[in-house]
């Protein structure tokens, strides 16, 4: 099926006016598949980390939300072991008036404001609720270990 | 009495000259604020060109049914930049039969119903999420729909070569009646095939004829394609030696044609010699630069390597210098601290411990200072970003405001001019009546009829002028 004009326009804009701290590059052979990199927001446990994600626009995008997943390991109450993200706008609260860039911004915001009351990774959320300082420390360690240049 | 032209009217009246001055200055401001946008657009378009293959793929996917092209209005290419306010938030293209919801948000009718059908039971506006329902859609006023249909688009058959630019509402008519690249039924009665409209004359172009080169049966319509492509015998004339070469041999010929003019292989090292291939070999054997070429290339590589190494070293050096500076600073502070401590009656238990701990604390303090400074810098960064964003927003708003004012002024101007002209016409009519009749009563009538409209006109124009100024 042909690529809808909207996807072409969105891609052009993502390339022409990138969002600070976020990059999304489509695959040459599949323009519905994007390699995404999000910089951890400042003064969050993810600061200094660069997180890789994959984003896929399903056939009926924008009527259904993009499918998106963390590839880099991350310690976060709303992101599970498989990198799936618990974010309402990616599910029930999706609207076709939203865009790839708004979704990526929401994910960056989620890194800055973890919400252990609406968890996807239950053990992490538990840790977060019981001992925030320790949980944040773990998140920092993971960021350093998996999301920096030195990480292998 | 002379009939004053509109221009004279405009120039003569001080109030209208003020008006036109304002118009001009407003227009200037508008163009200025737009030129920046245009600059950004140009940049975007340059990138767009890079991605062209993608978008052309969408167009060429247009299928043909019974010879007639099927096209999707949402895949049309617009010939000019369309105002962002006319873009559907769902398909990101100019609205197609737009519909509004109660919350005043507008979408293409089809986009909206599709979006609502994807929602569960509680339907909400895709933009603001206010509750809504499929039957609360309201069509926009006809005038807006007509303006949208006036938007200029490229013919959907542009990929076949049609260069027409037409109002969006006329695309189907263009394809049905005028487009030279649309397939139409062959004019011959015994033929049920199709051909491009621009080639459709009186005769059938589908009848098979033998190819003059290979004898294979080809229709006149496909003869050119055949001779450029699948024909095995057709010949191509070499532009260099003007001999005709069989197509299959052409590739070999252009790399060996003796008449082709070549540059010396050492041209990039400074040899200006050019000659036909037939004499080039002789030159290459005697050219000193060709012999030197490998050595020069090697030297070039080495130079590049050295430059890179040098740059690396310079960077390292800078880092070292910075480090040295910090060390010097620390030493200076230690020295002064030492002086201070030695002047004191020193009776501490561990005389070697204190300078060390002092050094450490100094180091700590410095580190804190650095982190504070970097925080301040990033803070400042964020502030300038928002300030810039705010000011650009304001500029945009101002431009929109100017637009509105401009439109208003235009209406006022037109109103002024037309009321002026009306006044003149009335006055002339009055004068005519006076000339024909002599009786007192008639002239009175004429006077009163010519005098009456004027004051009312003036009152009207004053009122409107004030109204306009208030809004300004
Ligand atoms: Zn739409
Ligand atoms: Zn709304
Ligand atoms: Zn056409
Ligand atoms: Zn025919
Ligand atoms: Zn042939
Ligand atoms: Zn030749
Ligand atoms: Zn030479």
Mean pLDDT over residues B354-381, rounded? 86
Residues measured by CB to lie within 5 Å of ligand 5, the ion: B 211, 213-214, 216, 231
pLDDT digits (tens, 9 = 90+) for A51-73: 999 999 999 999 999 999 999 99
Cis bond upstream, residue B380 (ω within 30)? no
Q: Could you say which of B91, B129, B378 has the minimum Cβ distance to residue A42?
A: B378
Q: Could you say which of B48, B58, B90 has the minimum Cβ distance to residue A96?
A: B90
pLDDT digits (tens, 9 = 90+) for B404-435: 888 888 888 888 888 888 888 888 877 665 55
Contacts of B114 in chain A (CB under 8 A): 63
To the query of whether residue A95 is one of the catalytic residues in this protein, the response is: no
Euclidean distance between CA atoms B15 and B402, whole angstroms: 20
Strand positions, DSSP E, B155-253: 165-167, 183-185, 194-196, 208-210, 217-219, 235-237, 244-246
Residues written for chain A? 152
Here the tokens at position B48 are 């767009």
Domain definitions of chain B by residue range: 262-330
Q: Could you say which of B51, B61, B115 has the minimum Cβ distance to residue A63?
A: B115
* Residues of the domain holding A107: 5-146
The phi and psi torsions of B52 (rounded to 5 degrees) equal: -50, -45
Q: Find the ligand nearest to B236 CA.
A: 6
Question: Model-level pTM?
Answer: 0.49
Is residue A22 within 8 Å of A105, Cβ to Cβ?
yes
Mean pLDDT value across chain B: 76
Q: Looking at CA atoms only, how far is residue A46 from chain B in angstroms?
A: 16
Among residues A79, A86, A100, A104, which one is catalytic? Answer: A86
Contacts of B55 in chain A (CB under 8 A): 5, 8
Q: Which residue of A has its CA nearest to B112?
A: A96
Residues measured by CB to lie within 5 Å of ligand 4, the ion: B 186, 188, 191, 193, 204, 206
- Which range of B4-8, B13-17, B182-186, B451-455 scores highest in mean pLDDT? It is B182-186
Contacts of B34 (CB under 8 A, 6+ apart): B399
CB contact under 8 A, A12 and B51: yes
Span from the CA of A92 to the centroid of ligand 1 (angstroms) = 21
Span from the CA of B181 to the centroid of ligand 3 (angstroms) = 6
Q: Looking at CA atoms only, how far is residue B24 from chain A in angstroms?
A: 33
| pLDDT at residue B459, as a whole number | 44
Contacts of B89 in chain A (CB under 8 A): 96-97
Q: Which residue of B has its CA nearest to A30?
A: B54
Q: Is residue A151 part of a domain?
A: no
**pLDDT tier for residue B27 given thresholds of 50, 70 and 90:** low
Euclidean distance between CA atoms A46 and A38, whole angstroms: 10
Euclidean distance between CA atoms B301 and B294, whole angstroms: 11
Q: Is residue A152 part of a domain?
A: no
Contacts of A12 in chain B (CB under 8 A): 44, 47-48, 51
Q: Looking at CA atoms only, how far is residue B93 from chain A in angstroms?
A: 7
Contacts of A3 in chain B (CB under 8 A): 54, 57-58
pLDDT above 50: residue B352: yes
Which CATH number is A78's domain given? 3.10.110.10
Span from the CA of B139 to the centroid of ligand 1 (angstroms) = 14
| pLDDT at residue B432, as a whole number | 61
**pLDDT tier for residue B451 given thresholds of 50, 70 and 90:** very low
What's A73's DSSP letter?
A: -
Span from the CA of A47 to the centroid of ligand 1 (angstroms) = 39
Render B323-365 in DSSP notation, one character per residue: HHHHHHHHHHHHHHHHHHHHHS----S-TTHHHHHHHHHHHHH
**pLDDT tier for residue B92 given thresholds of 50, 70 and 90:** very high
ipTM: 0.83
pLDDT above 70: residue B13: no
Q: Is residue A142 part of a domain?
A: yes
Render A40-85 in DSSP notation, one character per residue: PPTTSTTTT-EEEEEEE--TTTTTSPPEEEE-S---BTTB-TT-BB
User: What string of H, E and C letters represents the secondary structure of B71-114?
Assistant: CCHHHCCECCCCCHHHECCCCCCECCCEEECCCCCEEEHHHHHH
List beta partners, residue A70. A53
Q: Find the ligand nearest to B128 CA.
A: 2
CB contact under 8 A, A95 and B118: no
List beta partners, residue B152. B167
Is residue A54 within 8 Å of A69, Cβ to Cβ?
yes
3-state secondary structure of A48: coil
For residue A35, the surrounding DSSP H or E stretch is strand A33-39
Euclidean distance between CA atoms B234 and B257, whole angstroms: 19
The phi and psi torsions of B126 (rounded to 5 degrees) equal: -60, -25
Euclidean distance between CA atoms A125 and A117, whole angstroms: 7
Q: Find the ligand nearest to B211 CA.
A: 5
pLDDT above 80: residue B208: yes
Is residue B108 within 8 Å of B90, Cβ to Cβ?
yes
pLDDT above 90: residue B165: yes
| pLDDT at residue B434, as a whole number | 56
CB contact under 8 A, B58 and A8: yes
pLDDT above 80: residue B153: yes
Q: Looking at CA atoms only, how far is residue B44 from chain A in angstroms?
A: 6
Q: Is residue A34 part of a domain?
A: yes
For chain A, the domain total comes to 1
């Amino acid at each position: 099926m042909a690529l809808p004009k909207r996807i072409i326009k969105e891609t052009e804009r993502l390339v022409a006016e990138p969002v600070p701290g976020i990059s999304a590059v489509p695959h040459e052979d599949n323009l519905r598949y994007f390699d995404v990199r999000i910089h951890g927001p400042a003064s969050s446990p993810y600061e200094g980390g660069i997180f890789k994600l994959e984003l896929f626009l399903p056939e009926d995008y924008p009527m259904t939300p993009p499918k998106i997943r963390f590839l880099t390991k991350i310690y976060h109450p709303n992101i599970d072991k498989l990198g799936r993200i618990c974010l309402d706008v990616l599910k029930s609260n999706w609207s076709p008036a939203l865009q790839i860039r708004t979704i990526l911004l929401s994910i960056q915001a989620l890194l800055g404001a973890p919400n252990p009351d609406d968890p996807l990774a239950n053990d992490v959320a538990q840790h977060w609720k019981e001992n925030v300082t320790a949980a944040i420390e773990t998140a920092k360690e993971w960021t350093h270990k998996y999301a920096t240049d030195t990480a292998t | 009495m002379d009939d004053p032209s509109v221009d004279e009217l405009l120039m003569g009246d001080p109030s209208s000259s003020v008006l036109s001055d304002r118009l001009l200055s407003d227009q200037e401001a508008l163009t200025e604020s737009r030129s920046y946008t245009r600059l950004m657009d140009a940049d975007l378009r340059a990138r767009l060109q890079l991605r062209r293959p993608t978008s052309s793929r969408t167009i060429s996917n247009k299928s043909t049914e019974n010879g007639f092209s099927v096209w999707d209005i949402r895949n049309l290419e617009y010939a000019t930049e369309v105002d962002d306010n006319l873009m559907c938030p769902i398909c990101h293209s100019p609205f197609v039969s737009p519909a509004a919801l109660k919350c005043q948000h507008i979408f293409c009718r089809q986009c909206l119903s599709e979006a609502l059908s994807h929602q569960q039971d509680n339907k909400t506006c895709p933009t603001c999420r206010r509750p809504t329902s499929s039957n609360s859609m309201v069509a926009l006023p006809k005038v807006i729909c007509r303006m949208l249909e006036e938007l200029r688009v490229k013919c959907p058959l542009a990929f076949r070569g049609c260069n027409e630019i037409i109002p969006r509402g006329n695309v189907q008519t263009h394809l049905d009646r005028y487009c030279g690249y649309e397939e139409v039924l062959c004019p011959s009665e015994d033929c049920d095939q199709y051909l491009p409209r621009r080639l459709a004359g009186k005769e059938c172009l589908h009848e098979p004829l033998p190819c003059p080169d290979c004898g294979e049966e080809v229709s006149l319509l496909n003869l050119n394609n055949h001779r450029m492509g699948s024909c095995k015998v057709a010949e191509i004339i070499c532009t260099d030696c003007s001999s005709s070469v069989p197509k299959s041999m052409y590739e070999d010929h252009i790399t060996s044609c003796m008449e082709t003019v070549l540059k010396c292989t050492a041209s990039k090292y400074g040899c200006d010699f050019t000659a036909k291939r037939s004499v080039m070999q002789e030159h290459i054997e005697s050219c000193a630069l060709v012999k030197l070429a490998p050595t020069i290339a090697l030297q070039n590589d080495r130079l590049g390597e050295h430059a890179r190494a040098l740059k690396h070293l310079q960077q390292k050096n800078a880092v070292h210098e910075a480090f040295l500076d910090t060390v010097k600073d620390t030493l200076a502070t230690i020295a002064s601290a030492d002086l201070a401590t030695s002047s004191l009656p020193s009776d501490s238990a561990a005389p070697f411990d204190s300078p060390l701990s002092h050094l450490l604390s100094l180091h700590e303090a410095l580190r804190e200072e650095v982190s504070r400074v970097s925080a301040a810098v990033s803070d400042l960064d964020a502030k300038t970003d928002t300030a810039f964003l705010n000011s650009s927003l304001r500029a945009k708003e101002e431009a929109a405001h100017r637009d509105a004012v401009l439109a208003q002024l235009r209406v006022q101007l037109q109103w002024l001019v037309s009321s002026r002209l009306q006044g003149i016409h009335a006055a002339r009519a009055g004068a005519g009546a006076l000339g024909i009749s002599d009786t007192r009563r008639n002239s009175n009538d004429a006077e009163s009829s010519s005098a009456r409209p004027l004051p009312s006109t003036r009152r009207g124009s004053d009122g409107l002028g004030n109204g306009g100024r208030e809004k300004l």
